[in-house]
Structure 1
Amino acid sequence: MRRGALALLLALLLPLPVLGQEEDSAEVAAVAARQLRDAAAMMAQAEGAENRLAVLTDTVRAYEDGLALMRDTLRRVAVEKARLQSELDADREGIAKLLGVLQSIGQAPEPVLMLNPSGPLDTIRAGMLLSDVTPALQAKAEGLRAKVRRLAEIEATQGQAADTLRQGLADVQKARADLAAAAADRTELPRAYTEDPVATALLMASAESLESFAEGLGQTVDQEIATPPDEATARKGTLPLPVEGTILRRPDEPDAGGVARPGIVVATEPRALVAVPVTSTLRFRGPLLDYGTVAILEPAPGTLFVLAGLAEVYGDAGEILPEGAPLGLMGGETPDADAILTGTPQAGDAARTESLYLEVRDAGEPVDPGTWFRLD
């Protein structure tokens, strides 16, 4: 054998790149599927349950968690599949060269293969090198088989995840509709006061700012009924945010238009569930100025939590909402399964396309929301 052909053969038999050591996507997909199955079981249990609203609230949260994990799984799978396919494509040229060398060896007469023009010593050396070819070929073939097998597993995971995703998206839509209906039907909530709807309408029409509207909220009370409990003051600085998301802007950070506000902006996923962070009186719900749909909570005397940017708000002014109760849903449209599967699945902040504005006012003045909420 010529030295050039032997050198080329040995070069082609260098070890293949080691397969990625990322967390097994199939296991993550199985966890997401299990979460969605648990959510479906919870939704079935909600039918006829005495605490139907609470069960449906937990169901929507479970669906949101499961779907978020499933979308992240599909992203991981897509990235892993693209990487593996790229490696296999890169190997094709080397495989073609390897087959060419092996074919040329097979066509040479056996006596010629056993001779070396440099003498017996080089013939022995060549034989020793050739003895290494067989295990190297076997390792190369095993590596390729492993890659092909892994690619088939990834494609199977994609198919199973896609079916689970479609069912989960359909189920969460029903769960949200059931939640809205249950929230509208609840009658057991205690009331702090009854609302004067005429005074509220006049205030909405005359208010020129959020500050002036908040100052005039006292005019909307028709009759005081009860003093709501103050569970918030003792927990200042530890309250959870009312929605799952990422802080997009902090107090007084200007937006793209240069407008700075004293509250925070939280990026959320479309149709995300917004919950009551601590037992509070619902002081207002409805469209307000340029804030969109607004909900104003009073967790403690003289303190207001202003939440703006919701698409739906549950409850009536004057009701005392317990901690964890559903307050409403964010806007936007959840992408359907085909859009998620045919596009590049978004991860983390990229999937959070909606914005919730949260402002805290104490004694009529805006304060840093961090004095009440955990912002870490």
Structure 2
Amino acid sequence: MRRALALLFVALALPALAQDGTTAEGAARAARRLREAAQLLDAAEGSRDRLAALTQTVRAYEDGLGLMRDTLRRVAEDKARLQADLDARRAEIAGLLAALQSMGETPEPVLMLHPSGALDTARAGMLLADVAPALQARAEGLRAELETLSAIEQTQAEAEQTLRDGLLSVQTARADLAAAAADRTDLPRAFTEDPVATALLMASTETLDAFAAGLGQTVDQRLATPPDTATARAGTLPLPVEGTILRRPGEPDPAGVARPGLVLSAEPRALVTMPVTATLRFRGPLLDYGTVAILEPAPGTLFVLAGLAQVFGDAGEILPEGTPLGMMGGETPDADAMLTGQVPVGGSARTESLYLEVRNADGPVDPGTWFRLD
């Protein structure tokens, strides 16, 4: 009995030694990804292709921060569940401790005697022998739960600091990326733009159909025929932003408006990249679509991307596959807002929308004929 009592007191006092493997491994993986991103950011300063290095860096930060936010959500859920279990058993644990403490303070010779005589003393001894292993098992179970709770709290503190560091660094990486994209001078050009014709077209059209049909008027001088690397890969192109499909072609939005393109949900300030080498035919605000980028990946085919906050490049430039096209809008929440639950996590954190429409000479076509939508 004394041994069971000692084990229970030890269980209440010992620090954490282990934790649920899934949560701990998720936190370690997220922290490792953010460390890799920090190393990439340092290396980007001396990179020969600084834009490519910074693009890779921002992607790494986005992946690492997404993993870390999801990990912290699971950590908080595990902690709350375990804490609620311990709180619910608080009265039971207190009663058990009181009983064991009272028995532990009784002199051992007195504890072993029963007032009814030797037979009842023997029976009491047999009962104690049966109870002791059960008490020991309960003490060991409680010890394991307390160890897990302490480990969860330690993981949470470390992950929170890593998240704060990562959020600060990704802002630097995005600013550097935008500056590097603006400084590009070596991009080939398919044509030079007539800005007056573009302004007149924007002012005189009321639909995307009309604007797309009149894009040829904005060309001042053709300089080169861009390569067509997209046609052979139709149906396999990656989506330009990391996110999920919010609405498919023809599905109405909350206002009842149905459009022929995809609506993708993405995180604030998410990087939008070129799915394939294409000519930038237009960039700027258009109708009610917000900031728009129109790409021509193949003769007669247009990709319309609407909802960006920034577009990198000028009309007429040929942008290589994988290079940054722009960034989504919104504001990345700070660490305190994330940690206090004031902002959503996981898929619900994708609060920005990118509209993607594919058009040919006959009008809109199914985006699935060009993009991989799985």
TM-score scaled to structure 1, two decimals?
Answer: 0.89
Matches within 5 A, 1:77-156: 77-102=75-100, 115=114, 120=119, 126-156=124-154
> 1:297-356: per-residue Cα shift (whole Å, max 9, x none)?
000011000000000000000000010010000001101111111226743221111010
Q: Show the counterpart of 1:192.
A: 190
Cα separation, partners in 2 of 1:117 and 1:366, compared to 1, 3 Å = farther
Work out the CA distance in 1 between the residues paired with 2:53 and 2:86: 49
Is 1:159–2:157 an aligned residue pair?
yes
C-alpha contact 1:75 1:346 (8 A) present in aligned 2:
no
Question: 5+ residue gaps in structure 1?
Answer: 1-19
Q: Show the counterpart of 1:301.
A: 299
1:129 Cα deviation from its structure 2 partner? 3.0
C-alpha contact 1:278 1:299 (8 A) present in aligned 2:
yes
Q: Bigger shift: 347-356 or 192-201?
A: 347-356
Work out the CA distance in 2 between the residues paired with 1:208 and 1:116: 101
> 1:213-271: per-residue Cα shift (whole Å, max 9, x none)?
11110100000110011111111110000000010000000000000000010010000
Work out the CA distance in 1 between the residues paired with 2:176 and 2:308: 18
Work out the CA distance in 2 between the residues paired with 1:206 and 1:125: 101
Q: Show the counterpart of 1:264.
A: 262
Matches within 5 A, 1:1-376: 23-102=21-100, 115=114, 120=119, 126-343=124-341, 346-376=344-374
C-alpha contact 2:20 2:148 (8 A) present in aligned 1:
no
Work out the CA distance in 1 between the residues paired with 2:21 and 2:282: 47
Q: Bigger shift: 20-29 or 90-99?
A: 20-29
Cα separation, partners in 2 of 1:107 and 1:173, compared to 1, 3 Å = closer
Q: Secondary structure at the match of 2:250?
A: coil
Q: Secondary structure at the match of 1:176?
A: helix
> 1:194-225: per-residue Cα shift (whole Å, max 9, x none)?
00000000111111011111111010000011
Cα separation, partners in 2 of 1:345 and 1:119, compared to 1, 3 Å = farther
Cα separation, partners in 2 of 1:191 and 1:104, compared to 1, 3 Å = same
Q: Which amino acid aligns with 1:199?
A: A
Cα separation, partners in 2 of 1:135 and 1:162, compared to 1, 3 Å = same
Q: Which amino acid aligns with 1:257?
A: A
Work out the CA distance in 1 between the residues paired with 2:19 and 2:97: 30
Q: Show the counterpart of 1:11.
A: none
Q: Show the counterpart of 1:5.
A: none
> 1:32-76: per-residue Cα shift (whole Å, max 9, x none)?
111111111111111132211111110100110011111111111
Q: Which amino acid aligns with 2:328?
A: M
Q: Which amino acid aligns with 1:306?
A: V
Q: Bigger shift: 342-351 or 357-366?
A: 342-351
Q: Secondary structure at the match of 2:89?
A: helix
Q: Secondary structure at the match of 2:314?
A: coil
Cα separation, partners in 2 of 1:25 and 1:126, compared to 1, 3 Å = same
Work out the CA distance in 2 between the residues paired with 1:92 and 1:272: 46
> 1:159-181: per-residue Cα shift (whole Å, max 9, x none)?
11111111111111011011011
Work out the CA distance in 2 between the residues paired with 1:125 and 1:300: 92
Q: Secondary structure at the match of 1:306?
A: strand
C-alpha contact 2:250 2:259 (8 A) present in aligned 1:
yes
Q: Bigger shift: 134-143 or 72-81?
A: 134-143
C-alpha contact 1:294 1:310 (8 A) present in aligned 2:
yes
> 1:11-51: per-residue Cα shift (whole Å, max 9, x none)?
xxxxxxxxx99643222212111111111111111113221
Work out the CA distance in 1 between the residues paired with 2:118 and 2:365: 91
Q: Bigger shift: 126-135 or 172-181?
A: 126-135
**Residue correspondences, number:** 358
- Give RMSD over aligned pairs: 2.4
Q: Secondary structure at the match of 2:245?
A: strand
Cα separation, partners in 2 of 1:346 and 1:31, compared to 1, 3 Å = same
